[in-house]
Structure 1
Amino acid sequence: MNAIKIKDFYWKYPNFAGVESNFALKNVNLEIKEGEFFGITGPSGSGKTTLCFAMMGLIPHHMQINERDPKSYMSGSVMIFDEIVSSIEERNGKSFITGKGVMSDKVGLVMQDPESQFLTMSVKHELSLGLRLMGLNQTEIEVRIREALRRVGMEDIYEISGKIHPAELSGGQKQRLIIASFIAMRPKILILDEPTSDLDPAGKIEIIEAIERLKKEGNLTVILVEHNPELMQAFADRMIVLNEGEIVAEGTPDQIYSNIEIVKKYNVYTPEIAELKTGSKRFTRIRDFISMIPKGAKFESIGRKYSQVQSKTILEVKDLDFYYEDGTHALKGLSFEIKRNEFVALIGQNGSGKSTLSKILSGIEGNFKGSVRIANLDLHDSKNRKQMPYHVGYVFQNPDHQIFSRSVYNEVAYGLKNMGLSPSVIDEKVKSVLKSVDLLDKINEDPLFLGRGQKRRLGVASVLAMHPEIIIVDEPTTGQDYKMSRDIMELLKRLNEDGTTIIVISHDMRLVAEFCPRSIVLNQGKIIYDGSTFELFKNKDILDKASLRPPQIVSLSEEMIRLGMADDIFLTVDEMNEAISRVLV
C-alpha cells in the first residue's frame, strides 16, 4: 500500500508584491510505500521543504491564495493512505481546493528550524501538548514522554523537564526535543526536513538510528530530507533528487551517488569515495573501493608536520569560566591563544560550550570569569565589548537571531552605514559581498521569505562586508548544497589568505579536514584537544569522547592501514587521488 501518492502536482506560492512567482513544484509524480525509508535531496532552493509542506497538507490549505482562481497556484493531487489531502475539484464551472488538509493524526513534520515549532514554556509541556490533544490519560502521557526522550538521548532531563524552557537548550538539543515530540505521538508517517543539521556527527547517527528502530517496530514510513550522503546510504531504501521543483533522478542511494552526471549537474553531496579517480567506474562504499585494489599495492601518505602560525597573538584566553543564570557551568577554565591569520576549527558535541565561547569572544556575553583579550582589548570592559563588531564578526548558528532588516540590501548595509562610509562605497560593498554568497538576485527581497540556507548566507555576507580582523562562523554550511558549502569555505579561505583570522564552528568533519589546519575540541565546557587537525583524526579516544566521526577518507585510510595497504592516514580526497595516481597507473 502507498503511504503517499503525488500525481501531476504543481504549486506556486502567492506573491503579494504584484510580481508573478515561478512554480516551486512542477509535475511531481511520486509514490512512497508504507514502511519505506525514503530520502529527498537536491540543491538549495530546489523545493525540498515545499514538497514536505505539500505532503503534510500545509500547502495549499494553510496558504492565502485567490480562491476564485486556485488553479493558477495548484494542480494535481496528494494522497495519504488513499485519502485525498489536496486536489482541485470542478463544480458548476468553478474550481475549488478539496481534501482533508493537514492530517496531524497520521503525519508528523519536523522542520529545519526547531525554534519555529516551539509552542509552550517548558520541555515537558512541549512534549505533552500533542498527546493531550490526542486525549491520552496522564499515565500514558508520562510513559510516552520518557520513552521519546530516551529515544533521542535526552532521558537525563526527564525529571526536570517541567522546569526547563526550550530556549535554554542548545541548538542540537532543540532539534532532539522537536523530534521527540513527534516520536511521542507515534504518527504513521514522519517527515524530517534536515532534522539533524545542527547535531554533532555521532548525534546525527544516533537520532536516525532511533527513528529507524521505530520504523521497524511500528511500520513507520519515514521521509528524510538530507544533504548528508552517509546518512542516506545507511538508512534510505530509495531517494529522489529535486532541482527547481522537479524530480530529476530517482533510485537507491548507491544508484544516485554513482551517477556522476547527476551529482555534478545538481550539486549533490556525494560520499568522498565517489570522488576518487579510479577510471570510468565510481565507488560509493569503502568495501567496494578496497576490493578493486591490486594485491600488494602500497599507498604512500604525503607525510606532514603541523607548525603553529608564526605571527602576533590576536586572541588570548586565560582561565575562562562562564555560568548561565540557572547555574549551568558552561565553560570551565579554558586557556588558549590564536595567532593572526590562523584558520581554526572549534568543534565538539552539542552542548560542549562552542557557541557560548563564541558569544564571549564576539562581546555578546560579558559576565565571565578569567581573562579574554582581543587585539589587546580586555573584554571585561563594557566599552571594549561595544567595539568588538569592528574587530570580530560573528555569524550566528541560527540566522534568525542575527537578521533584523526588512530587505537583503539593508541587512548587509547596516554595519557599513554605522562605519560612516559613503553611499556609493556602501552600494559597491553590498553588491560585491552578495554576489560572493550567491544572493545578488535577492538584493531587494525581505529576508523573512528567504530559505534557511539563504538566510545563513545572508548572515555571512553582513559580517564579511565589515572586514573584521576575526570572523567566527557558527555552522556556515548547514542546509547548503555541495557547491554553496564549498563556495562559502573557499571564500573564508581567501579572506584568511588575505590576513583575516578565521574560527569555524562546524559538525562537518570533511570541511574541517580540508580547510582547518588546527582544531580546538571542547567537551563539557573543557578543552580536551588543541593542535593539528591531522593528528586529531588519528586520535580515536578524543573523537569518541567528543562524539565526532572522522571524514570518510580517514575511515578508508584506517581500513587500508589495517590491511597493510597504507602506512598513515589520508585527510582529503585530493591527497588520496594523488596517491591513487602513483599506484593505479
Structure 2
Amino acid sequence: MPTPSTDLAPGVVASDWGWRYAGRQRWAARHLDFTIEPGERVLLLGASGAGKSTLLGALTGVLGGDDEGEEAGSLLVGGKHPTRMRGHVGLVMQDPTSQMILQRIGDDAAFGCENLAVPREQIWPRVRAALDAVDLRLPLDRSTTALSGGQQQRLAIAGALAMMGGPGAPGMLCLDEPTANLDPEGVTTVHDAIASVVADRHTTLVVVEHRVDIWTDLVDRVIVVSADAGLLADGAPREVFASQREVLTRAGVWVPGAPRGVEPRTPPAPGEPLLTTHDLTIGHGRAHPVRTMEPTQVPAGLSTTIVGPNGAGKTTLALTLAGLLEPLAGSVEAAPSLRPTSARFLTRAMHRHFDPARPITWASRDLLTRIGTVFQNPEHQFVTGSVREELAVGLKALGRGARDIDSRVDALLARLHLESLADANPFTLSGGEKRRLSVGTVLAAEPRVIVLDEPTFGQDRATWIDLVQLVQDVLEQGRTVISVTHDRDYLEVLGENELRLDIASPHPASASSPAGGRPAGHAPGERRPKDRQPSADQPSGERPSADQPSDHRMAP
C-alpha cells in the first residue's frame, strides 16, 4: 500500500461502533472495528441496508443527536468525535437533490467554498475547474431545478471538489454512490476527477459504491460491512475478492467477474402500440424545452428501455409518456384498450379537458391501474409514515377491501425483502430499500404499463437479481414496462425495445427493432420547436463572468 500523508488528511478509528435509528429495533450498523490511516483510499462495500450510508453520515457528523438515534462504541475522525470535525470532512450524499441549496449552478457549486471563507478571487476559478472536471459545462446561472438527475449528481460532486485543496479545505472526502445516476462517460469523468484530487495523498477517501469495478484501480483497500456481523472482509482489493469471493457473493456484493445471475427471456411478438407520440415536444414548461421527438411507439408486452447520456431528456420523456408531464407541443396517444371509459373520477372543472386518448388528462385513479410510475428519486412519492402504509395507499384509493389490501401488502413486503421494515418510516430507509419500496408502491395497483426511472439504483447483487426477475414476472403477465436506465446489465437482460436519445439530436437517435421486426422509432432528421427561445434560466450565450456573477451571495 502506498505511504499515506498526514499533512492534511484525518484518519478514522472505529471501536465496536454502531448506530440504531430512533424507533427501530434493528441496528443500522453494529460491531464495526477498523482503522483508516490518513491519506488512505477505501472502498466501502456491503449489501443493501448494511449500514454503509449510515457510516458515512457518522463520519461526517450529520447523523444527529440522541433524539435521532442511539450510538454504541466509539468512532473518531482525526482523534475527535465526528461532530467536532464538521467542515473537515466533505460528503457527497446518495440523493444529490438533498445537497442542492441555491437556485443557480454557479452559486450552488460555490456554496461550500464560501462557508470555508475561501477568498472571493479564488472561489470562481475553483468552481469553473470543478464543473469542468465533472463535465458539467452549462451556464453558471442555469437553474439547478432544470438539471437532470445525472447532472445534479455531477453538481454535487463539483461542489465537493471545489472545496478540496488549499488552507482550511476538508482533508477527507466521503462519496455515497457517486456514479449511480451517471452515463458511462460520466462515470469515467468522475472517477478521473476524484483520482486527481486524492493523487497527492493529502486526502483520505471513503467511497460507497455497489459496482466495485469502477474504483478498484484507485483504492488501496476494501472494507465489507454487514448490519449484523460487523466486518465481513478487510484488505487489499485483489486479496479480498480472491479469498472471500463466495462469501461476498452470498452477501450480495458485486464481485468483479461474478455471473449476472439472471438471463434474458425470449420476448413475445410485440403487441399493439399502447402509447404513440405525435409531433411531440417535451420539456419542463416553455422556459425549459428539452427536445422534439420523432414518432415513437411503446409496444404492448415488451420491455422498452430509454437510454442516452445525462441531460438528453430521458426522464422528461418517461414522465410525458406516463401522463405526468404535459407536452409542450404535440401529444401522447393511448391505445383504445388502455383508455378509461369515463371521466367519473375527474372534477367538474377538469371534465372539459378530458380526452380518453390523452393520458395527461386522466384522473389520478385512472392512472393508478393503467400507467404507474416509479420516480427517479424514491422520496418524491412517499406520502405516509410507514412502509406498510406506503404499499397500501394505492389500494385504498382504489377502494379495495381490508383483507385484500393486507394480503397484497404482505406479499410485496416478502418479495421486496422489506418485512423487517414494515413499520419503519420510509424516509429512514437505505437508498436501495427506498428504491424497492417505490417499485412496490406502483406494483401494488397492478397497472398495465409500468414506468421505472433508474429502477436498479442502490441495489446489491442479490436485490438487483430480485428486482430484474420481478420485472420479468410482470412482463410474463402480459404487462408492459418502460425503463430509464444506465445499467448495462439491466439493458442486456431487459433491453427488448430500445429508445436511444442523444444530446446532439432532439429525437431518438436510434431505436432497435423489437421482437417481430417492427421498428419502435426512427430519426430521419432534426426538428426544433418553433417557440424555442433562450430564457433567463437557459441563456444561449457564454457563462456570466466567473469573477462577478449576478446576485452572488457570500455565506455568513
- What band does the TM-score fall into relative to the shorter chain? 0.7 to 0.9
Cα distance in 1 between the residues matched to 2:55 and 2:267: 48
1:461-476 residue pairs with structure 2 within 5 A?
A: 461-476=440-455
- CA contact under 8 A between 2:134 and 2:158: conserved in structure 1? yes
1:385 deviates by: 6.0
Q: Could you say which residue in structure 1 is the equivalent of 2:508?
A: 527
Residue 33 of structure 2 is aligned to residue 50 of structure 1: no
Equivalent in the alignment of 1:262: 247
1:521 Cα deviation after fit: 0.9
Return the alpha-carbon distance in structure 2 between the equivalents of residues 339 and 77 of structure 1. 54
Confirm or deny: 8 A CA contact 1:249 1:262 kept in the other structure.
no
Q: Residues 219-230 of structure 1 correspond to what in structure 2 (within 5 A)?
A: 219-230=202-213
2:360 matched to 1:360?
A: no
- Verify: 1:447 aligned to 2:449, yes or no: no
Question: Alignment partner for residue 43 of structure 2, among 36, 39, 43?
Answer: 39
State how far apart, in whole Å, the 1-side matches of 2:212 and 2:248 are: 11
How far apart, CA to CA, are the structure 2 residues paired with 1:253 and 1:349? 30
Q: CA deviation at 1:22?
A: 3.8
The one-letter code of the counterpart of 1:371 is S
Find the aligned partners of 1:400 and 1:477 in 2 and give their Cα distance.
Answer: 15
Q: What does residue 91 of structure 1 align with?
A: none
Match of 1:327 in 2: 287
Alignment check: 8 A CA contact 2:499 2:512 kept = yes
Q: Is the 8 A contact 1:12 1:22 kept in 2?
A: no
Code of the residue aligned with 2:81 in structure 1: it is: V
Equivalence for 1:126: 108
Partner of 2:490: 511
Q: For 1:457-482, what per-residue CA distance to the aligned partner results, in whole angstroms no more than 9, with x for missing partners?
A: 11111110111111111111111111
- Identify which of 9, 16, 19 aligns with 2:16: 9
Corresponding position: 1:136 with 2:118: yes
CA distance in structure 1 between the aligned counterparts of 2:225 and 2:453, rounded to whole angstroms:
27
Q: What residue is the counterpart of 2:467 in the other structure? A: 488
Q: Are 2:144 and 1:166 equivalent residues in the alignment? A: yes
Return the alpha-carbon distance in structure 2 between the equivalents of residues 443 and 14 of structure 1: 15
Quote the offset at 1:397 in angstroms: 0.7
What letter is aligned with 1:8?
S
User: Which residue, out of 323, 326, 336, partners 2:296?
Assistant: 336
Deviation string, structure 1 residues 220-258 (Cα, Å, up to 9, x no partner): 222111111221323222111111151110122222333
* Structure 2 counterpart of 1:414, one-letter code: V
User: Which residue among 370, 388, 401 is the counterpart of 2:367?
Assistant: 388
* Counterparts of residues 184-203 of structure 1 (less than 5 Å): 184-186=162-164, 187-203=170-186
Measure how far apart 1:494 and its partner are. 0.8
Distance in 2, Cα, partners of 1:65 & 1:415: 32
Distance in 2 between residues matched to 1:532 and 1:229, nearest whole Å: 33
| Preserved contact between residue 6 and residue 28 of structure 1 (Cα < 8 Å) | no
Q: Quick one: which amino acid aligns to residue 28 of structure 2?
A: A
1:85 match: 81
Helix, strand or coil for the counterpart of 2:362? helix
- Inter-partner Cα distance in structure 1 for 2:459 and 2:433: 8
Q: Distance in 1 between matches of 2:359 and 2:386?
A: 34
Q: What is the DSSP-based 3-state SS (H/G/I as helix, E as strand, rest coil) of the residue aligned with 1:234?
A: coil
Count of aligned pairs: 480
What displacement does 1:381 show? 6.8
Task: Give the Cα–Cα distance (whole angstroms) in 2 for the partners of residues 419 and 24 of structure 1.
Answer: 35
Alignment of 1:242-257 (within 5 A): 242-244=225-227, 246-257=230-241
Give 1:494-573 correspondences, 5 Å limit.
494-524=473-503, 525-531=506-512
In 2, Cα distance between equivalents of 1:65 and 1:421: 38
Instruction: Show the 5 A alignment for 1:419-430.
Output: 419-430=398-409
Q: For residue 522 of structure 1, report the CA deviation from its aligned partner.
A: 0.9
Note closer, same or farther for the CA distance 1:276–1:337 as it changes in structure 2 (3 Å cut): closer
Task: Return the letter of the residue paired with 1:84.
Answer: K
Where 1:145 maps in the other structure, the secondary structure is: helix
For 2:127 and 2:185, the matched residues in 1 are separated by 23
**Aligned-residue identity in percent:** 29
AA paired with 2:73? Answer: S
User: Aligned residue for 1:209?
Assistant: 192
Aligned-pair distance for 1:449?
A: 1.7
Per the alignment, residue 25 of structure 1 pairs with 29
Task: Tell me what 2:545 maps to.
Answer: none
CA deviation digits over 1:75-130, x for unaligned, max 9? 224132xx3235xxxxxxxxxxxxx62331x2101110111122223222222222
Please give the alpha-carbon distance, in whole angstroms, between the structure 2 residues aligned to 1:379 and 1:185: 51
Task: Please report how far the alpha carbon of residue 533 of structure 1 lies from its aligned counterpart in structure 2 after TM superposition.
Answer: 8.9
Partners of 1:191 and 1:55 in 2: how far apart? 8
Give the secondary-structure state (helix, strand or coil) at the position aligned to 1:334. coil
Give the partner amino acid of 1:101.
Answer: R
Q: Secondary structure at the match of 1:345?
A: strand
Distance of aligned partners of 1:64 and 1:119 in 2 relative to their CA distance in 1, 3 Å threshold: farther
Counterpart Cα distance in 1 of 2:143 and 2:45: 33
* Structure 1 runs not aligned, ≥5 long: 87-99, 278-303, 535-541, 543-585
> Could you say which residue in structure 1 is the equivalent of 2:343?
none
How far apart in 2 are the matches of 1:27 and 1:412? 32
d(CA) in 1 for partners of 2:49 and 2:329?
44
Shift of 1:388: 2.6
Aligned counterpart, 1:403: 382
- Residue by residue over 1:520-546, the C-alpha shift from the partner in whole angstroms, topping out at 9 and shown as x without a partner, is 111124211211599xxxxxxx9xxxx
1:379 is displaced (CA, Å) by 5.3
Residue 307 of structure 1, CA deviation = 8.4
Task: Assess if the C-alpha contact under 8 Å between 1:58 and 1:102 holds in 2.
Answer: no
Residue identity in the other structure for 1:146: R
Kindly indicate whether the alpha-carbon contact (under 8 Å) linking 2:322 and 2:359 is maintained by their aligned counterparts in 1: no
Q: Secondary structure at the match of 1:103?
A: coil
Kindly tell me: are residues 343 and 217 of structure 1, through their superposed partners in 2, closer, same or farther at Cα, counting changes over 3 Å? same
SS of residue matched to 2:215: helix
Distance 1:448 1:333, change over 3 A: closer
Q: What is the CA-CA distance between 1:30 and the residue it aligns to? A: 2.1
Between the aligned partners of 1:364 and 1:497, the Cα distance in structure 2 is 26
Go from structure 1 to structure 2 and tell me whether the alpha carbon gap of 1:528 and 1:209 turns closer, same or farther (over 3 Å shift). Answer: same
Retained in 2: the 8 A contact 1:363–1:379? no
CA pair 479-374 structure 1, distance change in 2 beyond 3 A: same
Deviations 1:258-307 (A, max 9, x none): 33322223111122x34499xxxxxxxxxxxxxxxxxxxxxxxxxx9x98
1:312 aligns with 2:296: no
The question of whether the paired residues in 2 share the 8 Å contact of 1:10 and 1:23 is answered with no
CA contact (8 A) 1:379 1:385 kept: no
Deviations 1:28-76 (A, max 9, x none): 22222333321011101111112112222335xx32259xxx9x73222
Is residue 437 from structure 1 mapped to residue 416 from structure 2 by the alignment? yes
Query: 1:9·1:78 contact (CA, 8 Å) conserved in 2?
Result: no
For structure 2, which runs of at least 5 residues remain unmatched after alignment? 165-169, 340-355, 516-522, 524-556
Do the aligned partners of 1:364 and 1:385 also contact (CA within 8 Å) in 2?
no
1:237 is aligned, of 216, 220, 226, to: 220
Q: Distance in 1 between matches of 2:306 and 2:98?
A: 27
Find the aligned partners of 2:178 and 2:359 in 1 and give their Cα distance: 40
Distance in 1 of aligned mates of 2:40 and 2:71 = 30
Query: CA separation in 1, counterparts of 2:359 and 2:41?
Result: 54
User: In 2, are the aligned partners of 1:331 and 1:357 still within 8 Å (CA)?
Assistant: no
The partner residue of 1:114 within 54, 76, 96 is: 96
Name the aligned partner's letter for residue 348 of structure 1.
G
- 1:41 maps to a residue whose letter is L
Shift of 1:209: 0.9
Question: Which is helix-richer, 1 or 2?
Answer: 1
User: How far off its partner does 1:308 sit?
Assistant: 7.8
Higher relative contact order (CA 8 A, sep 6+): 2
